[in-house]
Amino acid sequence: MTDTILTGDGCRIAYRFDGPADAPVLLLSNSLGTAMAMWEPQMAALTRDFCVLRYDSRGHGASDAPTGAYSIDRLGRDVVELLDALAIDRVTFCGLSKGGMVGQWMGLRASERLDRLILCNTSSYMGPPSGWDARIRTVLADGMAAMTDAVLERWFTPEFQERAPDAVAPVRAMLLATRPHGYAGCCAAIRDMDMRRYLPLIATPTLVIAGSHDPATPLDHSEALVEGIPDASLIVLPAAHLSSVECASEFTEAVRVFRWHNPVRRVVACH
């Protein structure tokens, strides 16, 4: 069942729990243009080990979408305020793409709230700003339908789109349902973010999950995260940007076993 909390600036953030209440809490943070439903391929397995806390990022899903530019700082503080409202001291944080950027902010600004950090298909910097400005103009002028096909081409390999249309369809629906001004607000947060020089300050044990065919956050972005974060390991999946969907079982297993933190680079085959 989905519920909401109210942040200090008056934004409602939607969230839900799944799994045993007495298990360690795993917090999942969605990508740009999706909602908490993006994690459905993981839920059956993750709820065997975790009390899974999902939320819709500001501007997405059932959360409010204030007009105007957001910031990574604001998106990160939304997470801290969510944990405060739910009286949760510490979590394992797993975020994909934009969610992984929020995870980096948590590692820098709120590390006392983290047991482990999982950064998936993400980057510490996604320039140039002009590209994001163009995307903001497009979505505000023409809506989400104007960019959905191009986004899906970056998010999934052509082979997966052909082989698994039933897995791609819910992602398309989430993109089309995202409010343009909420999407634009988060685009501004990504545009203005640059955490490259601060990565050595992240002390939380970190797993980086990358896609070998990811054109949105290429493998060298993930390798830069591993090189910059002192206690980080890398797993590479044969997927594009939404590796949690394209290699769902392998992605899920990597998250589940990370409690034993094995800092070794691995390339995983996807069945």
- pLDDT tens-digit map of 228-255: 999 999 999 999 999 999 999 999 999 9
Residue appearing with tokens 């993930």: 222
Average pLDDT, the chain: 95
Instruction: Identify residue 256 by its one-letter amino acid code.
Output: R
Residue 254: its pLDDT value, please?
96
Percentage with pLDDT > 70 across the chain: 95
Residue 134: its pLDDT value, please?
97
Least confident of 28-37, 138-147, 214-223, 250-259: 250-259
Q: Does the pLDDT value for residue 91 go beyond 90?
A: yes
Residue 260: its pLDDT value, please?
57
Q: Give the global pTM.
A: 0.95
Residue 264: its pLDDT value, please?
44
What digits encode the pLDDT tens for the residues 250-269? 999 999 989 655 544 455 55
Question: Residue 165 — very low, low, confident or very high, per pLDDT cuts 50/70/90?
Answer: very high
Domains annotated on the chain, with CATH: 3-267 (3.40.50.1820)
What digits encode the pLDDT tens for the residues 40-81? 999 999 999 999 999 999 999 999 999 999 999 999 999 999
Residue 263: its pLDDT value, please?
46
